[in-house]
Amino acid sequence: MKNLFTIPPFLFLFCVNSLAQKDSCCTFVAVIRGDVVDFAVDNLDNVYVLNSNDQLKKYNAKGDSVAVFNNVKKFGKVTSIDASNPLKVLLYYKDFSTIVTLDRLMNQQNVIDLRKQNIFQPSVVALSYDNNIWLFDEGNSKLKKIDDNGKLLLETSDFRQLFDESPNLKTINDQEGLIYLYDPQHAVFVFDYYGALKNKILIKNWSNFKVVEKFIYGTNNDTLHRYNINSFIYDDFKINAIKNSIKINFTASRLYALKKDELKIYTLR
């Protein structure tokens, strides 16, 4: 375990490799088998499973099917699912610049056509802590917050004025009073709720990036990375069970690993 901010890069890589712990951070607890092409999880450990027929099914933490949304492909192929708020699930359709929100019973609440709001190049979207929506508009290189009607509530300065070039963002995470924007080629950019840049964390080339409470998680094949935002401590774990996973997700207590025709669930410790 080492501090990312104080160890030179060459020493950091050596220390991480020497402290890797094999299968020591999680325990297998359950599996969902069948036709699974994508999934999301919320902070109550409900699981939202998308199948190849574009049906979205919700399972509770015990594995019981509790709700279904069958109208997914009305707007094309789903690009991403955000279930960070159990009461409001967000579906993003990038090809049509459209956002659909669902309630906890998977009933459609709202449809937002971003093109009608003059937002034509939203690369990534996410739920905000106050039930609004964050998005990054590549057209003018700004982070924006909108409400359920698409009304603009807040926007940052042009990122090309803040950085050498506009970042290639893959995820937005709203967590513990801050917004974490991840560009795998450069860093994690941390903003406050007023759109001001607060920090830059030099984490690069992680897949399955997610911020959960005080931790940042990510993976590289069979390696789980975990970074403590408060203490700056980094942990690295070798886990054979996640090797060659299609997608991995995290909550505060669980790790989810999607492979062909099955979604395996592990407890984190």
DSSP string, 125-166: EEE-TTS-EEEEETTTTEEEEE-TT--EEEE---HHHHSSS-
Percent of the chain surpassing pLDDT 70: 91
- The residue with greater pLDDT, 15 or 254, is 254
The 10s digit of each residue's pLDDT in 142-170 is 999 999 999 999 999 999 998 888 899 99
Does pLDDT of 21 surpass 60? no
Q: How far apart are CA 76 and CA 106, in angstroms?
A: 18
Residue 200: the pLDDT is: 95
Classify 52 as helix, strand or coil.
Answer: coil
- Provide, rounded to the nearest whole percent, the portion of the chain with pLDDT above 90: 79
pLDDT value, residue 72: 78
Over residues 198-221, the pLDDT tens digits come to 999 999 999 999 999 999 999 999
Averaged pLDDT of the chain: 88
pTM (global) more than 0.95? no
Q: Is the pLDDT of residue 13 over 60?
A: no
Domains and CATH numbers, the chain: 34-117 (2.40.10.480)
Using DSSP's 3-state secondary structure scheme, residue 246 falls into coil
pLDDT for the residue 241:
87
Token pair recorded at residue 21: 């712990």
Question: Which has the closest alpha carbon to 189: 168, 219, 214?
Answer: 168
pLDDT in tens, 33-75: 999 999 999 999 999 999 998 899 999 998 899 999 998 788 8
pLDDT of residue 24: 61
Q: How many residues does the chain have?
A: 269
Residue 106 CA to residue 108 CA, distance in Å, equals 6
For CA atoms 42, 81, 149, 142, give the dihedral sign.
positive
Name the 3-class secondary structure at 116. helix
Segment 94-125, tens digit of pLDDT? 999 999 999 999 999 999 999 999 999 999 99
Give residue 57's pLDDT.
96
